[in-house]
């Protein structure tokens, strides 16, 4: 059986602030089901992450260390890489996990989604192009993963979550001696199309509003649109101009990457400007809490008790979300 659990891509800014103290991420009911429900569920979690250099990977691995003593957990690096995903599924099955919650540690819930759904058997049509490592291949050569485990696929990325907003606020606090005299620039990877990129910018506004509410003098969001030459050139000009203008008005400027880990290419983009760089989302304990919350949301939606959190709390917060909206 395969479930998908998600909530709308663009979250409510006021709701994110309201839930900031709880660390809870809203969920909705499962959207898809296949086959019959097995009995005797033994739970496991498969975490998908982009992967990077040794330090990047080490930070991701450290973020799940506290979960491993509560249930089997496996980490699959790569951009929906079928080889690492298959190895993780096999590892979890060998450790007795017959039901696996798949949590995708990406900023965007849309990241590699078509390929992921096809690999887990949620859709019959392969992507036109598939990613294998850092190379593109004809999607028709992609084959679904082999597993008899029950898969609970989460569709949410960390972008727009209250946990992400709270981490970005903590990054600003770490770097800003005086919030009122500090300007903040939040930069994300971005998308190629205007529609998709505007959606990313909308999501980033939740974190910006959380930082503004903490008394910061000025907060901006921007995307670099890193993989698209012409949009990137315009984005670089806009980002540099905004940071330079803030540096003239404010005593301090903090630049925060809206990335899972690392500062990305922003140092090169901002070369010669006055600013203080901050870390990405990792390392931070709220990343661990977000992973646990997403896995719990999927277990609870499938009618299973989660060793990582309370289904009662999830249901109460979901009801509160509906009343607010």
Q: How many CA atoms lie less than 13 Å away from 176 in the CB half-sphere?
A: 28
Nearest to 162 by CA among 286, 279, 285, 258: 286
Instruction: Tell whether 144 and 293 lie within a shared domain.
Output: yes
Give the sheet arrangement for strand 276-277, strand by strand. Answer: 218-223, 182-188, 252-257, 276-277
Instruction: Tell whether 292 and 146 lie within a shared domain.
Output: yes
125-163 pLDDT, tens digit per residue, is 999 988 887 788 888 899 999 999 999 999 999 999 999
Instruction: Tell whether 147 and 229 lie within a shared domain.
Output: no
Instruction: Tell whether 19 and 150 lie within a shared domain.
Output: yes
Q: How many domains does the chain have?
A: 2
Instruction: Tell whether 172 and 139 lie within a shared domain.
Output: no
Residue 5 has pLDDT above 60, yes or no: no
Instruction: Tell whether 125 and 166 lie within a shared domain.
Output: no
The pLDDT of residue 138 is 87
Residue 7 — very low, low, confident or very high, per pLDDT cuts 50/70/90?
Answer: very low
Residue 1 has pLDDT above 70, yes or no: no
d(CA 312, CA 224): 40
- DSSP at 12: -
Instruction: Tell whether 154 and 9 lie within a shared domain.
Output: yes
The whole model's pTM is what?
0.83
Nearest to 164 by CA among 236, 109, 98: 109
Residue ranges making up the domain that contains 6: 2-158+283-324
Burial tier of 41 (Cβ tally within 10 Å: 0-12, 13-18, 19+):
middle
Instruction: Tell whether 115 and 190 lie within a shared domain.
Output: no
Instruction: Tell whether 134 and 221 lie within a shared domain.
Output: no
75-110 pLDDT, tens digit per residue, is 999 999 999 999 999 999 999 999 999 999 999 998
Q: What is the mean pLDDT of residues 60-87?
A: 94
Report the CATH number that the domain containing residue 213 is assigned in CATH. 3.40.50.11390
**For the chain, percent of residues with pLDDT exceeding 70:** 83
267-318 pLDDT, tens digit per residue, is 999 999 999 999 999 999 999 999 999 999 999 999 999 999 999 765 655 5
260 with 60: CB under 8 angstroms?
Answer: yes
The pLDDT of residue 324 is 37
Sign of CA dihedral 176, 179, 183, 184: positive
The pLDDT of residue 10 is 35
198-244 pLDDT, tens digit per residue, is 999 999 999 999 999 999 999 999 999 999 999 999 999 999 999 99
Q: Two tokens at 76?
A: 């699959």
The pLDDT of residue 32 is 35
Residue 14 has pLDDT above 60, yes or no: no
Report the CATH number that the domain containing residue 138 is assigned in CATH. 3.40.50.1400
CA distances from 136 to 11, 111, 170, 204, 269 (A): 32, 15, 37, 29, 27
Instruction: Tell whether 29 and 103 lie within a shared domain.
Output: yes
Instruction: Tell whether 209 and 243 lie within a shared domain.
Output: yes
Instruction: Tell whether 218 and 73 lie within a shared domain.
Output: no
The pLDDT of residue 323 is 42
């Amino acid at each position: 059986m395969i479930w998908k659990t998600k909530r709308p891509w663009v979250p409510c800014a006021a709701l994110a602030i309201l839930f900031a103290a709880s660390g809870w991420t809203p969920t909705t009911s499962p959207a898809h089901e296949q086959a019959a429900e097995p009995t005797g569920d033994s739970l496991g979690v498969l975490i998908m992450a982009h992967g990077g250099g040794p330090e990047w990977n080490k930070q991701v691995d450290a973020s799940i260390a506290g979960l491993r003593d509560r249930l089997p957990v496996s980490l699959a690096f790569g951009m929906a890489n079928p080889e690492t995903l298959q190895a993780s599924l096999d590892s979890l099955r060998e450790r007795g996990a017959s039901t696996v919650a798949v949590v995708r540690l990406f900023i965007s819930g849309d990241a590699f989604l078509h390929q992921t759904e096809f690999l887990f058997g949620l859709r019959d049509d392969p992507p036109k192009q598939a990613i294998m490592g850092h190379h593109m291949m004809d999607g028709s050569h992609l084959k679904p993963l082999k597993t008899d485990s029950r898969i609970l696929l989460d569709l949410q990325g960390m972008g727009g979550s209250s946990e992400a907003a709270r981490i970005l606020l903590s990054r600003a606090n770490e770097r800003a001696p005086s919030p009122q005299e500090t300007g903040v620039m939040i930069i994300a990877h971005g998308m190629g199309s205007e529609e998709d990129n505007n959606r990313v910018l909308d999501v980033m506004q939740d974190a910006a509003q959380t930082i503004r509410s903490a008394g910061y003098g000025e907060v901006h969001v921007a995307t670099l649109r890193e993989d698209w030459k012409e949009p990137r050139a315009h984005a670089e000009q806009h980002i540099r101009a905004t940071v330079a203008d803030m540096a003239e008005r404010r005593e301090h400027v903090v630049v925060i990457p809206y990335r899972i880990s690392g500062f990305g290419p922003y140092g090169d983009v901002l070369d010669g400007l006055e600013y203080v760089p901050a870390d990405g989302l990792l390392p931070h304990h709220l990343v661990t809490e977000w992973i646990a919350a997403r896995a719990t949301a999927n277990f609870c939606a499938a009618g299973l008790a989660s060793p990582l959190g309370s289904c009662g709390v999830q249901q109460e917060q979901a009801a509160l979300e509906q009343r607010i909206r």
